[in-house]
Structure 1
Amino acid sequence: MSATDNPRQQSNYRWVILLIATIAQASACFFVQGIGAIAIFIQQDWHLSVLQIGLLVSAAQLIPIVGLLVAGELLDRFDERWVVGIGTLLVAAALCAAMFANSYLMLLLFLIIVGAGYSTAQPGGSKSVSSWFSRHQRGFAMGIRQAGLPLGGALSAAMLPYIATRWGWQWSFLAGGLVALAGAVIFLLFYRSANPDPGEQGPARAAAQDLKATLASRFSMLKEPAMKQIMISGISLISVQYGILIFTALYLYDRLDLSITAAASLLFIAQGAGVMGRIILAAWSDRCQSGRYFPVMTCMLAIIVGLLTLIWMPMHTFVLLALLAGWLGFFGFGWYGPWVAYVAESAPASKTGFALGLAMACNQVAIVLMPPALGLLKDLTHSYIPGWSLLIVMTLVALVISARNALSFPRLAWGRK
């Protein structure tokens, strides 16, 4: 039975699924998305360079390059409850242990382990929502669920600096671990599969498949026009997202001499606007006459305008900076809602988990490489301008390519009619 025929998509329990999937996403990414808010504390305490701060973020995103592919395949074979639940428990355990790290390398190691568990949260929650919601509500539901990421980031931006100021940044890791633990328990207790017939999906059926044929079928997706467009746009937009997430507070603190609290507050505003962006833009994609991908292209244009404003227009009042942070957050984080709905909807039902994992794994390459690259540019040039300029150029290139593809292939899909 395909997702579009599933009677459970009419069940009211789908809203419970949406709630717990959003909670699981927010709790799993709570610390990963909030590390930028306490980066200044770690940098000052251990006398780290901006490159080393970027590597801390990359450490948590390294394993998901492969882990997302593994998680995606597991999601096509096993119940999402166990894949997501166990992964989030691993996040919790690694973060709690990381508070005892007494060296930079040890902290990197614990964050790598965090990334291994975090690999399951993104594709797992996305597949859960995709399975439980029909097409006419899928974008809206996916937007709410994906809002869990900036929601977790917004809450961590508000909470972690306070914890770091009062008790030390190490206690921020414990707080992140406890939040992840709560999310894992909730998901394990309340999640139900959208497929009521376990005979249709499971390890026995999957194990019978030829591994080589399965992998060939999965990676053949890379040849599809839809995946090429998804990869180009995803890599550029995720680079912008993490540039905003990690370096905005440092940029405002160094360049405009804002206090740590004020810089963290602006990051909180950006994350909060991202929550709204993911919901509103995804809901728009459900009804957009120009197609579900058009809101993603709109985000690219808005991001270019926002970053140009950030680096070239003098803004020294908190109100103007807050408005700009909101703009960048709304579009710089909000793009992910319609983008991931486009991925889930375009893929064949039997390959949804792997398609999500493959698309997100491509993004992970940028997530791992971009933070240290931006940090290195800052260390070499003693300016944030080259880094912001790089993000603008990447987004502009992706926008031009996407616009050309939209004109050539107005109904991009994975070979589906």
Structure 2
Amino acid sequence: MTRHPGIGRYRWVVLTAATFTQAASGFFVQGIGAMGVHLRHDLDLSAAQLGLLLSAAQLAPLAGLLVAGELLDRHDERWVVGAGAGVVAVSLAVGSLAPGYAALLLVLLVVGAGYSTVQPGGSKSVASWFDPSRRGLAMGVRQAGLPLGGVLAAAVLPALAASAGWRATLVAGAAVAFLGAITFTAFCRRPPLPLTGIPTEAEASTGAQADGRLRLLREPAMVRILVSRTSLVAAHSGIGVLTVLHLHETASLAPGTAALVFVAVQAAGAAGRICLAAWSDRGRSGASDGHRRSGRYAWVLVCLVAVVVGLVALATPAGRSPVAAPLLFVWLGFFGIGWYGPWVAHLAESAPPGRTGFALGSAMAVNQVAIILTPPALGLLKDVFHGFAPAWGLLAALSATALALTVRTPGTRPARRHFRDMS
């Protein structure tokens, strides 16, 4: 491959901008779990209602991710992502005037609509700038933006809520999201030359219509991608909404201490996204497409195993220990949040010709059901059984089932080539 002289330097600018925008756009929503104790007190919420706040931000992407995927395949991602991050900023600013819980739910619905463009758009932008030998690391760094935003949110928002009230946290979230929108629009560009491993629009076939897209989602390889993500997304959601509550109510940690542990959990997740994705790059530079993708997916399976172990341990007496419980949550942060790095690199490289945006958007949209249902369902389990063990047990069962199903899924020819064959 002939490398354009500008690619080597500017790709790191694009990666930095995309990572910051990811962190900035998800800043407020990632901090809801850390503010759990304060929100429950100020708004008189149950655990299920707290979980519903997280679900509200994820409801609009159920359709929004599909729309975003189509827009990203038709328009420059800098404008699509910049506009979406701008919507997040404006809606949070308006939300600071919300009179109560119901209005806050509505605000978060709009936030989710804007955020729909950020995940697939940033992933597509970064993937287009890095060749296969470094793409896993780059995607891992970029996807670390979400837990990095969670680290900052967990460190800042609970203290801000305690001193200035929950409305001030929305103003802070709006300001951070606006900076993200400006940064992405100003610095993210398409590369001057296409790189290997990511199909471009020029390769796309005219037969890539709705029928072919539905067939793609039914491919065994894509089913495996979706099943693994569903269970891991559910685990990630559970970690986000229940960590602070579990540490406070079950492990007897003070709210401030529990929030600090949540900071460590998010930091572990950021480290996991980078490290796991970087490890998935090892030996990839000379590998064929099929071997490269299977190598990346092996790390997703490792994460599934580690998540099952951590969740089961939380349901034992170790989950009540003020020493062991924080360590278990850090473990779950590394694997239960870190899995996204190798997973999204695997998905981007499996995308059909010229449909990277559609593949990213559709895969994320299909799993929005789990993202929407998990937080309130886990909160309801906690309210009904007055404990966290049933919630952790359910997540462990889902992860174990996904592991069994994906290991059994037979290998198939790459989805990219199959998509061409259907045209």
Fold match, TM over 0.5?
yes
CA distance in 1, matches of 2:87, 2:28: 13
* Segment drifting more, 352-361 vs 219-228: 219-228
| Paired position in structure 1 for 2:242 | 247
Partner of 2:356: 352
Match of 2:308 in 1: 304
Deviation at 1:348, TM superposition (A): 2.0
Q: 2:327 aligns with which of 302, 323, 326?
A: 323
Q: CA deviation at 1:314?
A: 3.0
Correspondent of 1:76 among 64, 73, 78? 73
TM normalised by structure 1 equals: 0.92
Which structure 2 residues correspond to residues 4-403 of structure 1 after superposition, within 5 A?
A: 7=4, 10-194=7-191, 214-287=209-282, 291-314=295-318, 318-403=322-407
| Per-residue CA distance 1:170-193 (angstroms, 9 max, x = gap) | 111111111100111111111111
1:78/1:201 contact within 8 Å kept: no
CA–CA separation in structure 1 for the residues paired with 2:257 and 2:332: 17
One-letter amino acid matched to 1:322: P
Query: Which whole-Å CA distance do the structure 2 matches of 1:94 and 1:245 have between them?
Result: 22
Counterpart residue identity of residue 173, structure 1: L
Q: What displacement does 1:363 show?
A: 2.0
Q: Which moved more, 1:30-39 or 1:294-303?
A: 30-39
The answer on whether the counterparts of 1:300 and 1:395 sit within 8 Å (CA) in structure 2 is: yes
More helix by share: 1
Instruction: Go from structure 1 to structure 2 and tell me whether the alpha carbon gap of 1:318 and 1:312 turns closer, same or farther (over 3 Å shift).
Output: closer
| Equivalent residue number for residue 416 of structure 1 | 417
- The range that moved more, 319-328 or 98-107, is 319-328
Question: For residue 355 of structure 1, what is the amino acid of its counterpart?
Answer: A
Equivalent-residue separation in structure 1 for 2:226 and 2:47 (angstroms): 28
SS at structure 2 position matched to 1:173: helix
SS of 2:414's equivalent in the other structure is coil
Q: Which deviations, in whole Å up to 9, do the C-alpha atoms of 1:165-216 show, x marking residues without a partner?
A: 111121111111111001111111111112569xx969xxx9xx79xx6322
Other structure's SS at 1:35 match: coil
1:6 touches 1:195 (CA, 8 Å); kept in 2? no
Compute the displacement of 1:317 (Å).
5.7
Is the contact between residue 26 and residue 152 of structure 1 (CA under 8 Å) also seen in structure 2?
Answer: yes
Q: Deviations over 1:283-302 (max 9, x none)?
A: 11112686110010000111
The residue number in structure 1 matching 2:288 is none
Cα displacement (A) at 1:415: 4.9
The alpha-carbon deviation at position 138 of structure 1 amounts to 0.6
Uncovered stretches (5+) of structure 1, i.e. residues with no partner: none
Please state how far the C-alpha of 1:254 moved relative to its aligned partner: 1.6
The Cα shift of 1:5 comes to: 8.1
Percent identity reads 51
Relative to structure 1, the CA distance from residue 360 to residue 95 in structure 2 (aligned partners, 3 Å threshold; closer, same or farther) is: same
State the aligned residue count: 404
The 1:371/1:194 distance shift into structure 2, 3 A limit, reads: same
CA deviation vs aligned residue, 1:367-400 (integer Å, no higher than 9, x gap): 0011111111122222211111110000001111
